[in-house]
A and B are shown apart, each in its own frame.
Chain A
Amino acid sequence: MPLKQFGRELLVIDVLAPSDTVRSSGARHENAPHLSEVYPPGAPQLRQASHRDVLRIFSVVAAVVTLLLLGGVVVFLAIEGAPALAGTSENLPAGASSIWALAGPLLFGSLWASALAIAVAAPLGIGVALFSVLVMRGALGRWLGTAIDVLAAVPSVVYGLWGLMVVAPQTVRIYNWLATHLGWIPFFAGQPSTTGRTICTAALVLAIMILPIVSSVSREAIRLVPSSSIEGAQALGATRQEMIRRVVLPEARSGIMAGIMLALGRALGETMAVAMVLSATPFLVSFRLLSSQNPGTVAAYIAQNYPEAHGLEVNALVWLGLLLFAVTFVVSFFARLVVRRSSGGSR
């Protein structure tokens, strides 16, 4: 190719090559002719330079590795977990009759603990977001936002220690009070735990861990509500409560939902804090909040039983991990569906 001898020409041609150029900006004027119309693609000499683009090759390889990672996770977990499907009460953990008898109650426990955590964290997180954007405008509100974000940075073992040694002992008296005075409500029935290591405590710790996710995503969604809408409502004489209920929340709904779903996924997968705080009973399915007999969660069960597991028990734990992954995947899938539908509905 004669082009190779003329570096300058090569550069010029590179600029004109349809694959690599101005299209990347996205800022092209709509009426302007596209480069591919002026220089139709397919003229071979125009593509010279891109073959030597090491950076492009590197980035393509990275993207492909990312793709393969997900496939690898699913394949390896499935291969290593599958033997547990044939397990019996002889060789499965805790003498379970089948892997599903083990997994069912644990999946229930994961969903129940996460639902409780969301029930606490969602109203609180949205409240914090509204407070820091609409009530405490300015520096103090920003400071509060940063402080809540620090909660997200605290490692989960630290939450585990804290929940175990600070929250659990503190809650025992509250649980006793609830059990004596509100024991007629099925959730609070039965003898309350004396250690405080109940599913209620675990859910509270989980709620604090996911609070920053709910509040930071909600905060962004609330900030995106056009100030003209807010000012319009205020000009019509709406009080702050009316303005938030009628204007801000409907506008920010899809963003807030996204935050809650993200937090739910996080709560489902949380391992160490639950493993340390919750004292779980195998095979238990119960809605009681304060009892010393609590359902376990999948993630915590894996972490607690892995060190002593051997043989097929380990395969069973791997299969549980695959199930947990499937559940979080379904949750995030529905999350995206919900977000898409609610953002489509409001428009």
Chain B
Amino acid sequence: MNRAEILEKIGTILNSVLGHSNFELNEELTAKDADGWDSLTHMIIITEIESAFGVKFKLKDLNKLQNMGNLIDLVSGKLSEK
């Protein structure tokens, strides 16, 4: 799975959890840019990503995330470990 495909799949999850698509889906996207993506919804989004890609994250990995690009790095890293 390439980066664009991962991004698209995460985008679908964001639309479904947040209930809107009022954000620009790119690698620079941060939680602050998407209305409703806060500390409470964050873990719901993460859980959805885990089940969609069939991967498991570590809390330490999540603590380092700064933007969508980092999240894609993390997912593709986990996918390559499979």
Q: Do these two chains really belong together in a complex?
A: no
A interface residue numbers (CB < 8 A to B): none
B interface residue numbers (CB < 8 A to A): none
